[in-house]
């Protein structure tokens, strides 16, 4: 079984939401779907937060270093 990725989680969450919105599910099943949906939502949000943190970190590092330091040029 492959590891859960953001994309897979998001896709499954979408399917769950659509199913709930059509209102076809049995009540017990609907509750179970909701639970699963919340779980997936948490996973996705965590992933997004992690990504955001990485982006900020990289952007800060980029701002403090030039792509090529000037003293690396041939004298």
Partner 1 sequence: MKVEPLLYGDKKVFTVAGFNRGVADWLARLPTIWIEGEVTELRRSPNWGSVFFTLKDPDDGACLPASIPRRTFDALKLNLVEGERIHVLGRPELFAAKGEFRLRALSLERFGLGEHLAAIERLKQTLSAEGLFDASRKRSLPRFPRRIGLVTGSDAAARRDVISTIQVRFPPARVLVAETLVQGPRAAAGIVEALEALSREPGIDVIVLTRGGGSFDDLLPFSDERVVRAVASCAVPVVSAVGHEQDTPLCDLAADVRASTPTAAGKLVVPDFEALRVELTRARSSLERCVRRTTERERERLARTRSALERGARATLARDHRRVTTLGERLRRGPVLLLERRRSAIERAEGRLTALSPRATLGRGYAIVRSADAVLRTTAGLSAGAAVEVELAEGSFGARVEDVRE
**From the list 4, 5, 8, 52, which residue makes contact with partner 1 (rule: CB under 8 A)?**
52
Q: Is residue 7 within 8 Å of 43, Cβ to Cβ?
A: no
For 40, other C-beta atoms within 10 Å of its C-beta total 21
**From the list 3, 31, 57, 71, which residue makes contact with partner 1 (rule: CB under 8 A)?**
31
Cα 1 to Cα 4, 5, 57: the distances in Å are 9, 12, 32
For 16, other C-beta atoms within 10 Å of its C-beta total 22
**From the list 4, 8, 57, 58, which residue makes contact with partner 1 (rule: CB under 8 A)?**
58
Report the interface residues with partner 1, using CB under 8 A: 6, 10, 13-14, 16-17, 20-21, 23, 25, 27, 30-31, 33-34, 37-38, 41, 44-45, 48, 51-52, 55, 58-59, 62, 66-68, 73-74
């Amino acid at each position: 079984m492959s590891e859960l990725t953001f994309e897979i989680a998001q896709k499954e969450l979408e399917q769950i939401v659509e199913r709930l919105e059509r209102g076809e599910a049995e009540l017990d099943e609907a509750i179970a779907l909701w639970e699963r949906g919340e779980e997936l939502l948490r996973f996705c949000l965590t992933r997004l937060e992690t990504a955001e943190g990485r982006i900020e970190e990289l952007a800060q590092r980029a701002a403090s270093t030039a792509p090529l330091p000037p003293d690396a040029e041939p004298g």
